[in-house]
């Protein structure tokens, strides 16, 4: 029975000791892990400051009237972005000026818009960037009469349809008419567009009309084939491009519309602004890349006024080109976006951007953490090893044994302190080596005491 009770007592002591050791290990780990966790959290915060959130699933583009080319272009973009899981809402508008207002208004919900060249620029509209110029928009000038007109100044005093108020067509028409001395005070600048403008010109209610549209547009085809109407060939077209850098001089070749009926009968010199794909500068980079790729698919085929691959262009005379758009033009979609679904590729790219700085912190910490832990444990043992070594040297120097009491007191202090050192179980061998060294010094002190006692006897 006595043996059993003794065993239970030892087991209880052992259990208590193991609990103390576990508590010590937990405390040690917390002391080391807490700073490491703070560093990791700091690295994540730092990375999040430079990594964009996930792209939104829906954005809006502002175009023009539903019957116009801008709206049709927006629909084509929407079909392409839909394949990547992005909904592009196509909104109609009165024209480019209204599109600018929507882009500049953060409450409008519009992030992207199609703008006619000459509408605005980076200085006048802060916070907007270009995603490239996408196609030429010919400025058509049709007129009635037998005389051949080749200069806009000839329209002074006539009834001229110059587009609706707030439209890109009217803005450009007024820009071109101004240097020719034509204003609303000396010329009737009628506010019409679309079918109404075509009917008014054909019915003789106007002498001339401005249109900004593709050659394939039904309205343009109607006007080109009407026997009583002529298209103006601008003899000074090149001069307009020098005065207004956003304009290009283009030529509609003889017979390009209809070779059988030779329409037009001669080469026609015209000017054309380049339509721009413009966005807010906070548009998500992943969506910028998608829109650039959509523009490439829609506009890279050749047309009547440009060759295959000429558009879209990674340049803009009026807006600063988006950095993300510039990368998209140069490098195209990344390998991940070419091979994986858009959402998965974007997730991996964002995760990688966070993982790089995080790995830069974690990898050194994985190596340093255990070393710090080991150093903290050994530092406790080495301190008392140092005290014991100093005591041992005094025992060797004290031949007479006069300092024996002080040496015993020092040894007792060391022994008591070492007995309470919080040492994890993994370092028990080093701990008991220190205890053995203490016993060795104790034996030397005892031997010195016996020697001193014999000398006194």
| 128-164 per-position pLDDT tens digit | 999 999 999 999 999 999 999 999 999 999 999 999 9
**Of 30, 23, 32, 35, nearest in space to 422 by CA:** 23
Residue 375 structure tokens: 């150093």
Beta bridge partners of 209: 142, 161
How is the chain split into domains, by residue range? 2-47+352-456
Q: Mean pLDDT across the stretch 267-276?
A: 95
| Residue 174: predicted pLDDT | 95
The residues, any chain, with a CB within 8 Å of residue 227's CB and separated by 6 or more, are none
The residues, any chain, with a CB within 8 Å of residue 317's CB and separated by 6 or more, are 117, 245, 246
Peptide bond into 95 cis (omega under 30): no
Residue 407 structure tokens: 């040496």
Percent of the chain with pLDDT over 90: 50
| Residue 23: predicted pLDDT | 56
Average per-residue pLDDT for the chain: 84
With H, G, I as helix, E, B as strand and everything else as coil, classify residue 252: strand
Q: Regarding predicted confidence, which is higher, 416 or 318? A: 318
| Residue 248: predicted pLDDT | 93
| Structure confidence at residue 389 as a pLDDT band (50, 70, 90) | confident
The answer, yes or no, to whether residue 196 has pLDDT greater than 60, is: yes
The answer, yes or no, to whether residue 13 has pLDDT greater than 60, is: no
The count of C-alpha atoms lying within 13 angstroms of the C-alpha of 149, restricted to the half-sphere facing its C-beta, is 19
Instruction: Encode pLDDT of 74-101 as tens digits.
Output: 999 999 999 999 999 999 998 899 999 9
Contact 142, 201 (CB under 8 A): yes
- Residue-level length of the chain: 457
Question: Which residue reads 């050994």 in tokens?
Answer: 378
Q: Compute the chain's Rg from CA coordinates.
A: 43
Q: Where are the beta strands (DSSP E) in 232-267?
A: 247-252
Least confidently predicted of 119-123, 192-196, 406-410, 419-423: 419-423
The answer, yes or no, to whether residue 236 has pLDDT greater than 90, is: yes
DSSP-assigned letter for residue 427: G
The answer, yes or no, to whether residue 11 has pLDDT greater than 80, is: no
With H, G, I as helix, E, B as strand and everything else as coil, classify residue 396: helix
């Amino acid at each position: 029975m006595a043996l059993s009770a003794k065993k239970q007592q030892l087991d209880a002591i052992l259990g208590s000791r193991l609990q103390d050791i576990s508590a010590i290990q937990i405390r040690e780990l917390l002391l080391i892990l807490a700073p490491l966790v703070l560093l990791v959290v700091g690295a994540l915060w730092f990375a999040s400051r430079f990594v964009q959130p996930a792209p939104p699933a829906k954005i809006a583009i502002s175009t023009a009237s539903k019957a116009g080319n801008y709206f049709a272009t927006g629909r084509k973009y929407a079909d392409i972005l839909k394949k990547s899981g992005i909904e592009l809402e196509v909104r109609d508008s009165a024209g480019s000026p209204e599109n600018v207002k929507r882009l500049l208004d953060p409450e409008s919900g519009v992030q992207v818009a199609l703008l006619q060249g000459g509408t605005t620029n980076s200085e006048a509209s802060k916070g907007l960037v270009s995603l490239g110029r996408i196609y030429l928009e010919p400025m058509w000038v049709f007129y009635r009469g037998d005389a051949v007109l080749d200069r806009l100044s000839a329209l002074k005093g006539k009834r001229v349809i110059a587009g609706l108020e707030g439209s890109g067509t009217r803005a450009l028409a007024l820009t071109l008419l101004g240097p020719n001395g034509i204003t609303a005070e000396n010329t009737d600048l009628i506010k019409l567009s679309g079918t109404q403008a075509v009917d008014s010109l054909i019915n003789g209610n106007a002498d001339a009309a401005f249109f900004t549209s593709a050659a394939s547009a039904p309205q343009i085809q109607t006007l080109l084939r009407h026997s009583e109407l002529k298209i103006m060939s601008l003899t000074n077209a090149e001069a307009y491009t020098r005065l207004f850098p956003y304009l290009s001089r283009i030529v509609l070749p003889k017979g390009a519309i209809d070779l059988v009926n030779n329409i037009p009968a001669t080469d026609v010199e015209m000017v054309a602004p380049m339509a721009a794909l413009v966005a807010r500068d906070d548009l998500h980079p992943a969506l910028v890349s998608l829109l650039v790729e959509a523009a490439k698919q829609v506009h890279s085929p050749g047309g009547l006024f440009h060759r295959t691959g000429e558009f879209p262009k990674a340049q803009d005379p009026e807006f600063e080109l988006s950095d993300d758009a510039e990368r998209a033009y140069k490098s195209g979609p990344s390998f991940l976006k070419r091979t994986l679904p858009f959402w998965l590729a974007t997730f991996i790219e964002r995760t990688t951007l966070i993982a790089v700085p995080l790995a830069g912190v974690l990898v050194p910490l994985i190596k340093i953490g255990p070393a710090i832990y080991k150093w903290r444990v050994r530092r406790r043992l080495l301190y008392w090893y140092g005290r014991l070594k100093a005591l041992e040297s005094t025992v060797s120097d004290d031949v007479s044994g006069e300092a024996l009491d002080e040496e015993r007191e020092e040894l007792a202090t060391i022994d008591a302190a070492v007995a309470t050192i919080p040492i994890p179980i993994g370092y028990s061998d080093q701990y008991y080596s220190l205890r053995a060294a203490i016993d060795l010094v104790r034996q030397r002190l005892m031997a010195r005491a016996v020697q001193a006692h014999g000398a006194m006897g």
